[in-house]
Structure 1
Amino acid sequence: MVITSIFGCGSMIYPDANVDPSKNNRATFKQDAIDCATAYPVVDSGAHIKQRIGCMNLKGWR
């Protein structure tokens, strides 16, 4: 069970590169990350992490 949880957490990699080269910069990343963090506040279950990753993916970050 411990092994499964370690590999399960490793599959959630926070996106860091945008598919649009003009948006692939630190300022845009920071603003998009703040937007996603505001939209999905921290919850005890940790579900906010997956939701924030999904939000970033919708904004073009991979």
Structure 2
Amino acid sequence: MTAYIFGRHLMELAFALLVGSILMGCSLYPDINTDPAKNNKVTFRQDALDCAQSYPDSGSGVHVKQRIACMNLKGWH
């Protein structure tokens, strides 16, 4: 019985950490450009697609950091 309760709490903790890390990762994606002329949805979407094509999904999550760095180079913070 104790092993079951411990396993259940461990599973809940792992789920909470997973959800927290997903929310944290989504909040770190740059969405404001330093150039006011480029700070619009059309330019953002175009730059995001360009970075996504340059760094395709790798399965390990490294592509997210690469895409964020790409967006930072384009002026998004």
Q: 2:56 aligns with which of 41, 44, 53?
A: 41
Give the TM-score taking structure 2 as reference length. Answer: 0.68
Determine the C-alpha separation between the residues in 2 that align with 1:50 and 1:36: 11
Aligned to 1:32: 47
Which stretches of structure 1, 4 residues or more, deviate above 6 A after TM superposition? Answer: none
Of the two, which has the highest radius of gyration? Answer: 2
- TM-fit CA distance, 1:4: 7.9
How many residues end up aligned between the 2 structures? Answer: 62
Q: Which has the higher contact order (CA 8 A, sep 6+)?
A: 1
More helix by share: 2
